């Protein structure tokens, strides 16, 4: 079966819209998400525009902060620090990647934890790892919600995460571990990734290489989550061959992507709600 992300995402956004309206009634201003974009990378511009449009439809104010490609790490940190201290902002999203000249870890850490609605700071990662209250990384969080939607029991299952990025692969593995899965991480130095994938009950592909996971290496009946998005609207999994063997598989686009945005909006409203208490 296809793991359609559009339907579950729509339901999350419907509930989020109602919560945003309640916040607006209580304090007189709508929840606000600040989006920060360094440079004009076409894909990043498109992603930010999509997120801002979704904000508007959910009753969330979007404040866009475009910065030139020449922005330094220090200048970006100053911008993020100012937004963290701005009482009119509830959540902050720094669009990734910010550029090869930017120290992204330093930039992420300039985001106040209470406004880290994209779940990119070390504090958020620690909370995810220990199962404590906090904001999850949006794509891994969306993956977990999708697995819940399709009633995938993770306890005792072998989950193989292909990719170890700080905002996708690593937190995805920790969230799976928190649901009692046995987790294996694969990365660029892993010997024989295909052999490990063949052992997986659940595969999370987050490597950024089109068609990297081949259908012949998917265990019959496995659940396949394709978190990759590459040029030409293709994921990290060879969909045609993998779908013949998987019991559940996400399409690209339409699988993980809608869930990512839904979780971002939900966490923005949650940040606004926390400030009311």
Phi and psi based region of residue 221 (left: phi greater than 0; alpha: psi -120 to 50; beta: remaining): left
Q: Is 118 a catalytic residue?
A: yes
* 84 three-state secondary structure: helix
* 117: nearest Cα among 96, 93, 99: 93
Catalytic residue among 90, 115, 116, 118: 118
State the Cα angle at 70 between 99 and 78, rounded to 5°: 85
CB 54 within 8 A of CB 263: no
Cβ–Cβ < 8 Å for 110, 81: yes
Q: How many residues appear in the chain?
A: 277
Active site residue 115: no
Is 95 one of the catalytic residues? yes
Catalytic residue chosen out of the listed positions 51, 201, 226, 238: 51
Which member of 90, 95, 201, 267 is catalytic?
95
Residue 213 pairs with which residues in a beta bridge?
Answer: 237
Catalytic positions, written as ranges:
51, 95, 118
């Amino acid at each position: 079966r296809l793991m359609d992300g559009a339907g579950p995402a729509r339901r999350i956004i419907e509930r989020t819209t109602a919560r945003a309206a309640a916040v607006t009634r209580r304090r007189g201003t709508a929840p606000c998400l600040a989006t920060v974009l360094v440079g004009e990378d076409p894909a990043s511009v498109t992603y930010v525009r999509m997120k801002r449009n979704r904000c508007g439809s959910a009753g969330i104010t979007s404040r866009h902060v475009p910065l030139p490609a020449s922005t330094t790490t220090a200048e970006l940190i100053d911008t993020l620090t100012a937004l963290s201290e701005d009482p009119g902002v509830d959540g902050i999203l720094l669009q990734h990647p910010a550029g090869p000249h930017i120290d992204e870890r330093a930039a992420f850490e300039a985001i106040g934890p209470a406004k880290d609605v994209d779940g990119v700071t070390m504090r958020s990662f620690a909370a995810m790892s220990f199962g404590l209250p906090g904001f999850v990384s949006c794509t891994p969080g969306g993956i977990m919600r999708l697995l819940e939607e399709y009633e995938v029991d993770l306890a005792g299952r072998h989950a193989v995460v292909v990719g170890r990025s700080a905002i996708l692969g690593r937190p995805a593995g920790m969230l799976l571990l928190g649901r009692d899965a046995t987790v294996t991480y694969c990365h660029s130095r892993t010997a024989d990734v295909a052999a490990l994938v063949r052992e997986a009950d659940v595969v999370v592909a987050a490597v950024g290489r089109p068609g990297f996971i081949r259908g012949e290496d998917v265990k019959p009946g496995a659940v396949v989550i394709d978190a990759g998005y590459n040029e030409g609207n293709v994921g990290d999994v060879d969909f045609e061959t993998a779908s013949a063997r998987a019991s559940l598989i996400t399409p690209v686009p339409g699988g993980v992507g809608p869930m990512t945005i839904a979780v971002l909006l939900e966490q923005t409203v949650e940040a606004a709600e926390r400030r009311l208490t």
